[in-house]
């Protein structure tokens, strides 16, 4: 039982750290505030995929995920960031 709790806690901490890193990189690369980057990140498909753990995406590097995000969800990010 303790191992399951520890595993769930570790998984939650990993996801939280990954989201923080993604938001920081997105803010830096797009020249927006952390708040703006957070607002747009949580509207992306990537955010949902990380939250649900689809395909083990939460284990990938934040730099790779931001590159992918900027390429595959560019129109969403551009429309939100370039208001």
Q: Estimate to the nearest angstrom the gap between the alpha carbon of 71 and the chain centroid.
A: 14
Please give the Cα distance from 45 to 53 (Å, whole number): 12
| pLDDT, position 38 | 95
| pLDDT, position 61 | 97
Sign of CA dihedral 30, 32, 38, 39: negative
Domain range annotation of the chain: 2-81
List pLDDT tens digits, range 40-61: 999 999 999 999 988 899 999 9
Please give the Cα distance from 16 to 53 (Å, whole number): 12
| pLDDT, position 79 | 81
- 8-state DSSP, 73: S
Please give the Cα distance from 10 to 39 (Å, whole number): 25
């Amino acid at each position: 039982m303790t191992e399951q709790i520890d595993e769930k806690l570790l998984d939650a901490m990993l996801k939280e750290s990954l989201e923080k890193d993604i938001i920081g990189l997105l803010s830096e690369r797009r020249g927006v505030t952390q708040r703006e980057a957070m607002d747009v990140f949580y509207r992306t498909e990537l955010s949902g995929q990380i939250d649900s753990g689809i395909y083990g995406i939460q284990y990938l590097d934040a730099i790779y995920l931001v590159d992918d995000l900027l390429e595959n969800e560019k129109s969403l990010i551009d429309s939100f960031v370039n208001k």
